[in-house]
């Protein structure tokens, strides 16, 4: 329905009276199936994804949900203080967690406009020095589920949204993931190609001596150990499923599948989760080395946890339907920017949300 058609039932006199102008306009937008104009920009936007009220950053003047901004309170002692937990009394204003916004606000009359009174320079003393600690406290107080959703959106804006595509054989994905343990993707793929070249099918691999399998997969490292595990896995699959077709797994409860396969040597929660996500499109969030490192650096999980515990804690934090997207974008982030030894924080699209970042700004 167009806006013109929606307006037909209403008289011109009704919608032009000042007292009815705003309610009538909002009603017209609702009847037309459109969202009303943004309160700060006037641009028609889709409905917000959060129930948090909109607030304006006094530095860059951008409108965002209040829970994405830091609060500063003007207290009774005539001092402006950071309020990371939103518990200080007094009139408040909001600021992006970006030092550039603070510097912009300090250069202008932003605080006076926000508090609707003259703000002496002495009231702003120390804000620059306190910013880093306040930002860290603000991140710590931020709900982890909400911050995970924001990080997911930010990464999709920076890298694009990876879309799962069906077609990968679950058994092939399982063997490939076993080969990936303690090696890189290039060596894993090379070893898998050699394995498929040396043996025409999985039946042949299951019947081959472990030394022959080890020779084929040697580029992946730990060849003697992996060869025995791969052969044992194939024996178990054939005995359990009557063949080498694992496609029925995709119709089963991922938790039951994980519990069953984790009884086998060489298959942990990461391995079976990768298979379920990649081959079946299951909404599970695998935690490998890169993902584990990034989750801890972002403060989404406590420091010092095992990858298995990180897997357990991250599942409820990932937005519904976004496990594949966030996992793949975390992999890209970990391989290109948030590397183990020298993370390039200046290039990180989620640096603002990261308590471990060496910077307090993103590109």
49 is an active site residue:
no
DSSP string, 91-122: EEEEE-S-HHHHHHHHHTTHHHHHHTS---GG
Of the candidates 228, 226, 217, the residue with the CA atom closest to the CA atom of residue 193: 217
Residue 7 vs residues 47, 95, 225, 348: alpha-carbon distances, Å: 21, 39, 73, 47
Q: Whole-angstrom Cα distance, residue 335 to residue 141?
A: 29
Could you tell me how many residues make up the chain?
363
For residue 63, the cross-strand partners are 56
Residue 69 vs residues 53, 112, 358: alpha-carbon distances, Å: 11, 19, 20
Of the candidates 280, 284, 283, 310, the residue with the CA atom closest to the CA atom of residue 295: 310
Residue 28 vs residues 8, 20, 31, 49: alpha-carbon distances, Å: 10, 12, 5, 22
Placement of tokens 């982890």 in the chain? 144
DSSP string, 24-90: HHHHHHHHTT-PPBPTTT--B-PPPSS-SPEEEBTTT--EEEGGGSEEEEE-TTS-EEE-TTS---S
- 192 Cβ neighbours under 8 A, 6+ residues apart: 175, 176, 179, 217, 220
**Per the residue annotation, which of 64, 226, 270, 322 is the catalytic one?**
270
What angle in degrees, to the nearest 10, is found between the helix axes of 170-180 and 269-280? 140
Report, as residue numbers or ranges, the catalytic residues.
270
């Amino acid at each position: 329905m167009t806006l013109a058609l929606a307006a037909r039932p209403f008289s011109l006199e009704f919608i032009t009276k000042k007292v009815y102008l705003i309610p009538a306009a909002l009603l017209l937008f609702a009847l037309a199936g459109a969202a009303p104009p943004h309160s700060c920009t006037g641009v028609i936007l889709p409905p917000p994804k959060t129930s948090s009220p909109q607030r304006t950053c006094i530095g860059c003047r951008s409108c965002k949900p209040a829970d994405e901004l830091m609060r500063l309170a003007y207290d009774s002692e005539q001092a402006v203080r950071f309020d990371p937990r939103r518990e200080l009394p007094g009139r408040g204003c909001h600021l992006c967690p970006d030092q550039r916004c603070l510097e912009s606000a300090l250069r202008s009359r932003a605080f006076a406009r926000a508090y609707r009174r003259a703000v002496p320079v002495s009231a702003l003393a120390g804000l620059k020095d306190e910013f880093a600690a306040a930002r860290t406290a603000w991140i710590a107080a931020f709900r982890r589920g909400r911050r995970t959703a924001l990080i997911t959106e930010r990464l999709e804006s920076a890298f694009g949204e990876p879309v799962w595509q069906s077609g990968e054989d679950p058994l092939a994905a399982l063997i490939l993931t076993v080969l990936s343990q303690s090696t890189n993707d290039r060596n894993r793929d090379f070893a898998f190609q050699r394995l498929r070249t040396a043996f025409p099918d999985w039946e042949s691999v299951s019947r081959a001596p472990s030394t022959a399998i080890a020779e084929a997969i040697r580029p992946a490292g730990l060849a003697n150990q992996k060869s025995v595990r791969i052969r044992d896995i194939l024996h178990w699959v054939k005995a359990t499923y009557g063949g080498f077709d694992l496609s029925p797994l995709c119709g089963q409860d991922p938790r039951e599948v994980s519990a069953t396969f984790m009884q086998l040597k060489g298959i942990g929660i990461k391995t079976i989760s990768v298979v379920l996500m990649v081959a079946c499109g299951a909404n599970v969030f695998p935690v490998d080395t890169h993902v584990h490192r990034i989750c801890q650096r972002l403060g989404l999980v406590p420091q010092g946890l095992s990858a298995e515990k990180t897997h357990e804690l991250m599942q409820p934090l990932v937005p519904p339907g976004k496990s594949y997207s966030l996992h793949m974008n975390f992999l890209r982030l970990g391989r290109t920017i948030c590397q183990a030894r020298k993370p390039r924080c200046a290039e990180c699209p989620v640096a603002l949300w990261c308590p471990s970042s060496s910077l307090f700004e993103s590109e």
